[in-house]
């Protein structure tokens, strides 16, 4: 069956600029045929655990994600079907009751830290992009984001970074960069990279429209 949707994957370390790059590209493109999906939406459903236990989960390990469900959803999107994407709360570390309906797009931009660590998942992607941002910059951004947006304490963010975020980066995320078609340095504000990716997406949209 001919694929109805192109999947573009953007991976890289936490707070490397993946979401910024994905949303900047899509917003500036101005097409209703393009959507962004976050790997974070597919954290496993741990609603059965008390909050204290959920806080102990290693959220930077591949096992924290339901990549099987993500693969199923991507396959359905490629076939032109709609899917109900989970909505995840980083503050409570659980899935909400609501879902987000997505479907009928020519291009889906998928962003997340461990997208390239799963062979089946990365094989579903037509283009793979890796964000190469220095870890000290990532840590500064993560501190700002988690303290302000996710209402976490300075100490808890640092502890998580030292015990799981940094070690998992070297174990899983950095090695997965070898599967990328394009490596983007300097974060999500790299204008040359943004314009190159947008040019390719416009080409793909024109091909899709002519079918």
**pLDDT tens-digit readout, 92-144:** 999 999 999 999 999 999 999 999 999 999 999 999 999 999 999 999 999 99
CA–CA separation, 26 and 36 (whole Å)? 8
- What does each C-alpha distance from 159 to 21, 30, 64, 154, 192 come to in angstroms? 27, 40, 18, 9, 35
- Residue carrying structure tokens 């989970």: 86
The upper half-sphere exposure of residue 149, i.e. CA atoms within 13 Å in the direction of its Cβ, equals 9
Q: What global pTM score does this model have?
A: 0.93
Q: Give me the pLDDT at residue 1, please.
A: 54
- What does each C-alpha distance from 198 to 21, 80, 162, 201 come to in angstroms? 11, 22, 36, 5
20 in a domain, yes or no? yes
Tell me how crowded residue 178 is: count the other CB atoms within 10 A of its CB: 9
93 in a domain, yes or no? yes
pLDDT classification of 30: cutoffs 50, 70, 90: confident
Range of the domain at 42: 6-192
Q: Give me the pLDDT at residue 170, please.
A: 97
Higher pLDDT, 69 or 146: 69
Q: In the predicted model, what is the mean pLDDT of residues 13-18?
A: 94
197 in a domain, yes or no? no
211 in a domain, yes or no? no
Alpha carbon of residue 186 to chain centroid: 18
Tokens of 189: 């504000």
Q: Which CATH number belongs to the domain containing residue 116 in this structure?
A: 3.40.50.300
Residue 210 pLDDT greater than 80, yes or no: no
Query: For the segment 41-65, what is each residue's pLDDT rounded down to a tens digit?
Result: 999 999 999 999 998 999 999 999 9
Q: Give me the pLDDT at residue 152, please.
A: 86
For residues 207 and 4, the answer to whether their CB atoms sit within 8 Å is no
The structural domain count of the chain equals: 1
202 in a domain, yes or no? no
112 in a domain, yes or no? yes
Tokens of 24: 């900047």
200 in a domain, yes or no? no
Nearest CA to 184 out of 7, 13, 5 is that of: 13
204 in a domain, yes or no? no
Residue 67 pLDDT greater than 90, yes or no: yes
For residues 168 and 14, the answer to whether their CB atoms sit within 8 Å is no
């Amino acid at each position: 069956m001919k694929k109805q949707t192109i999947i573009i994957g953007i991976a890289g370390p936490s707070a490397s600029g993946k979401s910024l790059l994905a949303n900047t590209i899509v917003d500036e493109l101005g097409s209703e045929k393009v959507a962004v999906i976050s790997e974070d939406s597919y954290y496993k459903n741990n609603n059965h655990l008390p909050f204290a236990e959920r806080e102990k989960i290693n959220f930077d390990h591949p096992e924290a994600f339901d990549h099987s469900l993500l693969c199923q959803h991507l396959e359905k999107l490629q076939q032109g079907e709609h899917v109900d994407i989970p909505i995840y709360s980083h503050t409570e570390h659980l899935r909400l009751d609501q879902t987000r309906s997505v479907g009928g797009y020519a291009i889906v931009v998928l962003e997340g830290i461990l997208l390239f660590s799963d062979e089946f998942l990365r094989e579903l992607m037509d283009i793979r992009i890796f964000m190469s941002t220095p870890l000290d910059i990532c840590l500064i951004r993560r501190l700002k984001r988690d303290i302000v947006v996710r209402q976490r304490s300075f100490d808890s963010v640092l502890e998580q970074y030292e015990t799981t975020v940094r070690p998992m980066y070297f174990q899983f995320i950095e090695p997965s960069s070898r599967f990328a078609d394009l490596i983007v340095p300097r974060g999500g504000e790299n204008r040359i990279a943004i314009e190159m990716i947008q040019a390719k997406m416009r080409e793909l949209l024109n091909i899709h429209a002519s079918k």
